[in-house]
Chain A
Amino acid sequence: MSFANTIRRRLILLVFVVFGVSVVTFVISHLIPGDPARMMAGERATNETVAHIRAELGLDKPVPVQYIEYVRGLLHGNFGISIRTQRPVIDDILLFFPATIELAVAALLLAIILGIPLGVLSAVAKDRAVDQVSRTISVTGISTPAFWLGLLLIYVFYGRLGILPGSGRIASDIPPPPAVTGFYTIDALIAGDGRAFVSALTHLVLPALTLGFIHLGIVTRQIRSAMLEVLQEDYIRTAKASGISRARIVFHYALRNALIPSVTMIGLAFGDLLYGAVLTETVFAWPGMGNYVVQSITALDFPAIMGFTVVASTAYVLLNMLVDLVYMALDPQIREVG
């Protein structure tokens, strides 16, 4: 399969996904018992005010018309107005998205840096004590409720030891660095603001550890099983027979090949970080998309929920496409066979 083919297939899927997401979220938003116009107007508003807001939001029109208007808006990047924040949903998303990405990237880096050596060790020493320990760590990782781990870390490092902050992205008395990438750590470095950098980094540690630990399990398992598979190959046996050192066999021959299938899994795991991020952000009051969507759901703010779901699904499909492309670039066999 060629690059162009993969891109085309994924983009077609993307159209269906966005269509599907828009239908599903639209239907859901019309199933809810609450009246968004009344919620927006407040409890004491008169019926006329509510009717006025309803007309303003287009809620008095027939449902199919509302749907068509909604999709037309989506195509123009107009996701509607958030009932809770009273701001355009797209502005809210642009505001909160970088925080989530910063957290997810930091968590994924942690998971990869720790997970690859652990997975390799586990495969090389299969069924020995090291392997059992590493498998226990990885199973614990995937079995840990993210929200609970976050609370424990806050208790220990903020409550007891007092060495790390327990909530937010940056200390309240430090102004956020001017936005370039949207990542506070990187933006602080660009601005040459040492104090802001240290503050942003220390705020990032606990949430990233929480989210990273959950994914450490996924990375370790994947690397272990890919390594086990590769270590069975004929060329490894040949390499052993040729007297090449064990370290060179493991890192030069086996790991390089084991990383290829792992790219897919780790890439997909990045999409899953969204799930963990929702809970982690709630616990750490991290001002990202996860926190935003939880608050929107609690307030039954459906324009915001729909906007978030559409953006998240689009990102997910695009990420899958990127993963496929990287996979193809790494493994020439797939390019030629397909």
Chain B
Amino acid sequence: MANTELMEGKPPVAVAPGGGLLDWRYVRYRFAHSPLALLGLAIILFVLAVMALAPWIAPYDPARLDLLHRLAPPGPLHWFGTDQVGRDILSRIIWGSRVSVTVGFGIVAISMLCGTALGAFSGLAGGGIDTAIMRVMDVLLSFPSFVMAMALAAALGPNLTNAMLAIAVVRIPFYVRLARGQALSLRERPYVKAAETFGASRIHIVIRHIIPNAMAPIIVQSTLDIGVAILTASALSFIGLGAQEPTAEWGAMVASGRDFLLDQWWYPTFPGLAILVTAVGFNLLGDGLRDIFDPRLRGK
């Protein structure tokens, strides 16, 4: 999808020297000296808090109609105004975080799990199987992924679950490639060779040695990906292929607010701002993590 080429082109490399355990003191030190990464973390914690506390902090029921106060501008009663049936936009954004952000996590979880498993398998299997899997991935990566996600979502039927699945499917190849690269480099490590010598099964090696050691770059990639996933899911909802009314989903809210743009600017503006702020949070944190985990940038 958009915005991700940079990350895909240059996957974050390795963990601590030797690919072993993380040096947490170093991570903490770098974090404390990276104001933007801290800002990202703060934004994410804020969003997660809003998600958790939605029932207590939302001033109104997000589905409550109030036909007397339709399209009310922002004011003391409704901080972000109301929509065309008088629902409080702030409350819908607060509840919508549970939809939009959860979908983002869901997309990344699905694509990361499937992609990592397949990539690790491909890298370890080697030979013809590896070549075949990677050629298929090359082909999949050459598809315009957003268009494929749109077509899949349309074919499966426009709802949020299908949109989530469609986006997750088109993102799998990125993780396959990343995990395979990790597996290729890890399988030459002495401890993996040792395990092989002792007759450990392939599954055992993947689960015990490859996956734990390959995780750092994959976690960095997935942090950056959550932002992308939230943006993409909201984009599908915006064009009508994701969440449908009356679900309080940020992209769908911008879409309904579009008709009121010129006279009631607040209606599409605030839900879009929520998407922006959340995506900024994940991107800042992901960038910070990448700087920390990428040894090539150390000491710069």
Contacts and interface: CB of A to CB of B under 8 A. Distances in A.
Interface of A: 13, 16-17, 19-21, 24-25, 28-29, 31-33, 126, 132, 135-136, 139-140, 142-149, 151-152, 154-155, 158-159, 214, 217-218, 221-222, 225, 228-229, 232, 264-265, 268-269, 271-276, 278-279, 282-283, 293-294, 297-298, 300, 305, 308-309, 312-313, 316-317, 320
Given A139-B283, A269-B5, 8 more contacts: A28-B151, A135-B287, A143-B3, A147-B238, A151-B254, A217-B3, A232-B300, A272-B5
A136 B37 CA distance: 11
Nearest to B254: A148
Interface residues of B, number: 55
B5 to A, nearest CB: 5
A309 B147 contact: yes
B272 A276 contact: no
Interface stretch (B53-61, B109-117, B152-160, B178-186): B152-160
B281 to A, nearest CB: 8
A275 B241 CA distance: 15
Contacts of A298: 154, 239-240
A273 B284 CA distance: 22
B146 A275 contact: yes
Given A32-B155, A143-B231, A275-B144, A293 B3 contact: no
Given A28-B151, A31-B155, A145-B275, A228 B144 contact: no
Contacts of A143: 3, 227, 231, 276, 279-280, 283
B147 A278 contact: yes
B227 A272 contact: no
Interchain residue pairs A-B with the least CB separation, the first 6: A148-B272, A143-B279, A275-B146, A20-B139, A142-B3, A275-B2
Contact of B5 (A24, A152, A218, A308): A218
Interface in B124-166: 135-136, 138-140, 142-148, 150-152, 154-157
Interface string B1-24: 111011001100000000000000
A272 B2 contact: yes
A293 B275 CA distance: 24
B131 to A, nearest CB: 13
Given A148-B272, A272-B5, A308-B147, A136 B36 contact: yes
Nearest to A141: B3
Contacts of A293: 147, 150
B3 A214 contact: yes
A31 to B, nearest CB: 5
Contact of A282 (B142, B155, B239): B239
A143 to B, nearest CB: 4
B148 to A, nearest CB: 7
Contact of B269 (A152, A158, A278, A317): A152
Given A31-B155, A139-B284, A297-B154, A309 B5 contact: no
Interface of B: 1-3, 5-6, 9-10, 35-36, 135-136, 138-140, 142-148, 150-152, 154-157, 227, 231, 234-235, 238-241, 251, 254, 258, 261-262, 265, 268-269, 272, 275-276, 279-280, 283-284, 287, 296-297, 300
Interface core residue of B1, B2, B269 (most chain A CB under 10 Å): B2
A145 B254 contact: yes
B147 to A, nearest CB: 6
Interface of A is mostly: helix
Contacts of A154: 261
Contact of A268 (B5, B283, B284, B300): B5
A95 to B, nearest CB: 18
B261 A155 contact: yes
A142 B287 CA distance: 12
Nearest to B142: A17
Nearest to B10: A225
A278 B143 contact: no
Nearest to A17: B142
A101 B185 CA distance: 41
B6 A21 contact: no
Contacts of A149: 272
A278 B150 contact: yes
B276 A265 contact: no
Contact of A145 (B35, B136, B234, B287): B234
20 contacts: A13-B139, A17-B142, A19-B139, A20-B140, A32-B155, A136-B36, A139-B284, A142-B279, A144-B276, A148-B268, A151-B268, A265-B5, A269-B5, A271-B5, A274-B147, A275-B146, A282-B239, A294-B239, A297-B239, A316-B143
Contacts of A218: 3, 5-6
A17 B155 contact: no
B9 A268 contact: yes
Contacts of B140: 20
Contacts of B268: 148, 151
Contact of B143 (A17, A19, A158, A221): A17
Given A33-B157, A151-B268, A276-B2, A312 B147 contact: yes
